[in-house]
Chains A and B, each alone.
Chain A
Amino acid sequence: MTTNNTAIQAEALTKRFGDFTAVDAISFEVKKGEIFGFLGANGAGKTTAMRMLCGLSIPTSGKASVAGFDVYKQTEQIKRSIGYMSQKFSLYEDLTVRENIRFYAGIYGKSDAFIKEKTAFLLRELHLEGEANKLVRSLPLGWKQKLAFSVAIFHEPEIVFLDEPTGGVDPVTRREFWNMIYKAAESGITIFVTTHYMDEAEYCNRVSIMVDGRIDALDTPAQLKKTFEARSMDEVFLKLARKAKRSGD
């Protein structure tokens, strides 16, 4: 069912918790190397959908494949081919920059030589050579987020899932962060990103908007604006999100 050009494919993917349908039969396809924006108000079901795709949560029904692997049976292979960065800062604050990189690379099974070479490259790239042996706790938030993203793609995954990666970060750093995302996409990594910033939605190749567990719109930002007769993504989002019956968290 997956062509060589597809990174993620979902068909009627559903997750129910008791009577509550968190994700209601969503279908979409993400192409390789694409930056795919996954938008929705709080409580719309974005995180649940993402958790299913990452192999953290088993779907109730529907089909999905990530990097060509089935989300029901092949979660181990999926975990091996993806990177993940959550909205909660997920590096160890009481380890140094270098130790964090080494740890995450190590548990993905990377060789010592690979880790050593790539760590040096990464530190140079992030201008963190001077901070390599400092505890992550002592870094400013913006740097932490950039480091977390770099660590999430350090093991060269096919797809990286970013769950509100730029929350609480200043505009300059957000800009730099998006430059990093572009760079990663250029190198062939598929980016699956959720965000609340509508200017960031404009940076995506394609955007889907979730309302009450369903995907109500899916297209390029330009096309979406045309369809909904809006001047900005902000307006598109507001027009759709206003229909929501569920309240946010």
Chain B
Amino acid sequence: MRTLRFLLQKEFRQIFRDPSIIRIIFMMPSIQLLILPWAADYEVKNIQLSVVDHDHSQYSRQLVNKVTASGYFRLQDYSGSFTNALQQVEHDEADLVLEIPADFEKKLIKENESTLFMAINAINGVKANLGGAYLRSIVQDFNREVRLKWVQLPRFNPELQVAVTASNWFNPSMNYKYFMVPGILVVLVTMVGSFLASLNIVREKEIGTIEQINVTPVKKYHFILGKLIPFWILGLLILTIGLTISWVAYGIMPAGSLLVIYSFAAVYLLAVLGLGLLLSTYTSNQQQAMLLSFFLMMVFILLSGLYTSIDSMPNWAKIITRFNPVTYFIDVMRMVVLKGSGLKDISSHIFTMLGFAVVLNTWAVIHYKKRS
């Protein structure tokens, strides 16, 4: 115990004396949480629209007005030539081209139907998809208005109509920040837990102090605990700072209990620290550890359900997400923060994480021993 005390004292001194670690602890959560949620928003806005109007009728103008009034589109150009509009797409100045044919109004009134043409710049898949869908629903809306005006409605509606109203549970205003901020916080905690810890251990290897520790009576588990405990505390500290920032800046107060979040985080950190330890046993200098961390972080983030829904992934990817600890924490965070889930609801997550912790730490310790 006394040995551990000396190790911890040394570790904390080094951590708090290192300006880069202080920066990481305080600046990283602030910057990531204050800037990223604003940028990482799923809503597509400012879609550059180029309208090719061959009709120049009252209806065509009405349609364009309606589209621009929706707030999602920005009228980039209003011209009479499709080639011209397509050129703008080529120069990436327009995302969408809406072509209104010459006899749009006439056909609409006389023949009761008319066609519109939409050309979508699909280089940015998300923008193209959502932009096209927005425009389609606006045109549909327009269509209904026109029909109301022109078509004599029969006394009884011959068509059965199903009207759908929706309400968003747990996040009534569909505020993306409620959804993103807890997820970003998870990524932060993961980075501190695994990568800072592994860098710290590898640094001792690089400098050679680990060799010196190995010839002292310090036991391996002393050394490992001496490394894990400070970063475990650091991880919880980052979580606290992050929760405070999301409360102050976005007014996000977990619907559930903070205790639930912290209990899960406590177990989660054991797992990611195990991963950090494992990384450090497989690398011999900080550069290697850093590159490996970058690679893993990419996989972790993209396969965690932070940005994209896991349910829409192919089956093999879904299987991978189950081996990603980040997935579980993001899930828990969203459950607790938005839905107010309790310990009981996340118990299976906690047990899975315990499994992760046991496997990763055991693997790391076995591999660590083999080296000498």
Contact = CB atoms under 8 A, between A and B. Distances in A.
B217 A95 contact: no
A56 B372 contact: yes
A186 interface: no
Interface in B183-218: 207-209, 211-218
B208 A82 contact: no
Contacts of B372: 56-57
Interface stretch (A19-27, A85-93, A174-182): A85-93
A95 B212 contact: no
Given A80-B217, A109-B2, A94 B17 contact: yes
B131 to A, nearest CB: 53
| Residue in A79, A80, A93, A107 with the greatest tally of chain B CB atoms within 10 Å | A107
Contacts of A80: 217
Interface string A60-102: 0000000000000000100110101010111111110001001
B17 A109 contact: no
Contact of A99 (B10, B207, B214): B10
Interface in B1-28: 2-3, 5-7, 9-10, 13-14, 17-18
| B contact face: mostly helix, strand, loop, or mixed | helix
A107 B13 contact: no
B215 A108 contact: no
Interface string A178-221: 00000000000000000000000000000000000000000000
B10 A103 contact: yes
A224 interface: no
Given A90-B209, A94-B14, A56 B2 contact: no
Given A104-B216, A108-B216, A56 B10 contact: no
Given A92-B14, A103-B10, A109-B3, A84 B218 contact: no
A35 interface: no
A86 B212 contact: yes
Interface residues of B, number: 23
B218 to A, nearest CB: 5
A106 interface: yes
Nearest to B211: A86
| Residue in B2, B209, B214, B215 with the greatest tally of chain A CB atoms within 10 Å | B215
Contact of B3 (A54, A57, A76, A106): A106
A106 B2 contact: yes
Contacts of A86: 208, 211-212
A94 B7 CA distance: 14
Contacts of B214: 56
Contacts of A76: 217
B214 to A, nearest CB: 6
Interface string B205-240: 001110111111110000000000000000000000
B255 to A, nearest CB: 43
Given A106-B6, A109-B3, A95 B14 contact: yes
Nearest to B222: A107
For the complex of A and B, the 10 pairs showing the least CB-CB separation, nearest first, are: A88-B208, A106-B6, A90-B212, A84-B215, A79-B217, A103-B10, A80-B217, A107-B218, A54-B215, A107-B216
16 contacts: A55-B215, A56-B215, A76-B217, A79-B216, A86-B211, A89-B207, A90-B209, A90-B211, A91-B209, A93-B207, A94-B14, A95-B14, A103-B6, A103-B10, A106-B3, A107-B217
Interface of B: 2-3, 5-7, 9-10, 13-14, 17-18, 207-209, 211-218, 372
Interface of A: 54-57, 76, 79-80, 82, 84, 86, 88-95, 99, 102-104, 106-109, 161
Given A55-B215, A86-B211, 16 more contacts: A54-B215, A56-B215, A56-B372, A88-B208, A89-B208, A90-B209, A92-B209, A93-B207, A103-B10, A106-B2, A106-B3, A106-B5, A107-B216, A107-B218, A108-B217, A109-B2
